[in-house]
Chain A
Amino acid sequence: DAMVIQNPRYQVTQFGKPVTLSCSQTLNHNVMYWYQQKSSQAPKLLFHYYDKDFNNEADTPDNFQSRRPNTSFCFLDIRSPGLGDAAMYLCATSRDYREGNFGPGTRLTVT
């Protein structure tokens, strides 16, 4: 089945230690998104790619970076995680900004 895969499902990192979350898709969608979701809050868009074009949201901290080496893969790098970065990170894909297909998410814990 075509899907969005996120690895790992649970990630524990230390305060200030860089961490990378990964996302892959078999849907061949041109748009990939990264969202941050904290408890009882809306998913917050961090950035997205339209094909290779990177679109950063204005309020996304510089601490968050992203890479999309090819259509299928997208990475979220957190350069120096703080306690406030503990959250669920959701990857999603779509074709031309239409219905979003979400992965199961990666739960990040910062100790």
Chain B
Amino acid sequence: SQKIEQNSEALNIQEGKTATLTCNYTNYSPAYLQWYRQDPGRGPVFLLLIRENEKEKRKERLKVTFDTTLKQSLFHITASQPADSATYLCALDMNQAGTALIFGKGTTLSVSS
């Protein structure tokens, strides 16, 4: 069956450091992979989408990589701030089969000042 794993449930780092979150998947061949931020009691907010033919995508302090051979995506937040504290979810879509977004459980990031 399809499976999405995010490396850890919680990640604690100090302000200014780079946070790296991992998303691994099995039994998928996604056309693209997405990352979302979710704050407590709120719906997820879209951050970045990366396609299978893209190695890396950047948006301000965010960077996403996508390795279809390893079946892995890395999500980096550079110069992290306490305001970055939230749960980060990765989500996959099936390649050409046309199904919908399936989410991982998420990693809760805490940035301390």
B-contacting residues of A (Cβ < 8 Å)? 4, 31, 33, 35, 40-45, 48, 50, 55, 88, 90, 92, 94, 97-105, 107
Most chain B CB within a 10 A radius of its CB, from A48, A90, A100, A103? A100
Given A41-B105, A42-B105, A43-B103: A100 in contact with B98 (beta carbons within 8 A):
no
Q: How far, in Å, is A97 (CB) from chain B's closest CB?
A: 5
The answer to whether A104 touches B89 (Cβ under 8 A) is no
**B90-106 interface (Cβ within 8 A of A):** 91, 93, 98-106
Per-residue interface assignment for chain B, residues 74 to 113, with 1 indicating a CB less than 8 Å from any chain A CB and 0 otherwise? 0000000000000001010100001111111110000000
- Closest residue of chain A to B87 (Cβ to Cβ) is A40
Given A42-B89, A42-B106: A103 in contact with B43 (beta carbons within 8 A):
yes
Leading 6 A-B pairs by shortest Cβ distance: A102-B43, A42-B103, A48-B100, A42-B105, A99-B46, A43-B103
